[in-house]
Amino acid sequence: MDLKKSAGTAATVIIGQKVRPGCEQEFEAWQVDVNSKAAAYPGFLGAEINPPTAVQSDWVVVYRFDSVAHVQAWINSATRQDLLASGERFFDGPGTQQVISGGARPTDQLVTVVVTHRVAPEYVDDFLAWQERLRLAELKFDGFRGTELFRPVEGVQDEWTALYRYENAADLDKWLISEERRALLAEGEKFSDFQSRTIDNSFGSWFAFDDQGNEAPPPSDFKTSIAVWVGLYPTVVLLTLALSPLHMPLWLGLLIGNLISSFAMSFITMPFYVNPLLKHWLRPPPNAPVARTNWRGLGICVVALATWTVIFYFVT
């Protein structure tokens, strides 16, 4: 288990918020504005918005700054307090917030559980030993990708924060409902004052890096879906044309075609075609006009798909 300390390391803020039904679009537009204001503060490295999914019940916003001091400056700023007041009409109850210092953003994670514990000073050693027993138990479960434990951040957060990473939601559920976990939770009953949330990060490996190879937050689900469509259409049609001379039965052709298209999308189409083509739309510069950038990006998508459509029309 990695135990992260706070000195001289980057800091991540994970904010969870339930949103009133019917206010989702307004909330997302408001949150985009909040993120643009955060980007103007010193030390800002990135932000991402994750809407609710079948795995993740709340809206989750993740900020990353280069230090705890810069996180404090943003969290406590008058700018953010004014923005929270203006956005309160969208909130369905109070939100949650976790701050962790250190740790890298994993590029292959799909599901992460964030757990915060209040631990009395006299129980810290017992808590660390209990966390290690949890880790050793999780090692036996399929899909477990590792865990990180973060100390409280002085002046920001009194709780300990643990991150548990799993390959997918099904593997996570097996751990959450297991007898082993139930027994360990009973064993650590004095640490039962905790909060837990799950973060879903689908398509993470396709959009984990910018064009310079630096870590970057993924685009929105809408942009991700459109970008995948732009890459998937030519990939599937080209593979269908390439495999058609083999005259395989439908069930076998789809089986093999889907396998090849998955590899082609991950290693060829997305990194060498879609990401370079749509990079300014998927990750616009901080000061780029939002409406103009979105219309331009959608226009590029339409032109690209129309071009492939015309090509395949004449080829077939």
Q: 3-state DSSP call for residue 44?
A: strand
Instruction: Compute and round to an integer the Cα radius of gyration of the chain.
Output: 22
Distance, CA of 276 to CA of 211 (rounded, Å): 7
Distance, CA of 130 to CA of 134 (rounded, Å): 6
Domains of the chain: which residue ranges? 2-202, 221-315
Distance, CA of 145 to CA of 135 (rounded, Å): 11
Beta sheet of 59-65, edge-to-edge order: 44-50, 59-65, 11-17, 96-101
> Please, are residues 36 and 286 in contact by the beta-carbon 8 Å criterion?
yes
The residues pairing with 65 across neighbouring beta strands, listed in sequence order, are: 11, 44
How far from 116 is each of 16, 73, 152, 287, 294, CA to CA, in Å? 13, 22, 10, 35, 37
How far from 298 is each of 200, 209, 212, 270, CA to CA, in Å? 25, 21, 23, 17
Q: pLDDT tens per residue, the chain (316 residues)?
A: 545 444 346 778 888 888 999 999 999 999 999 989 998 888 888 888 888 877 777 888 888 888 888 888 888 788 888 898 899 899 988 777 778 776 544 444 458 788 888 888 888 899 899 989 998 999 899 888 777 777 787 766 778 888 888 888 888 889 988 999 889 888 888 876 677 767 765 444 444 434 443 445 567 778 888 999 999 999 999 999 999 899 889 888 888 988 898 888 887 888 889 988 998 888 776 667 888 888 999 999 999 999 999 999 999 8
CATH number of 2-202: 3.30.70.100
Which DSSP state fits 66? S
The pTM (predicted TM-score) of the whole model is 0.50
Distance, CA of 201 to CA of 221 (rounded, Å): 10
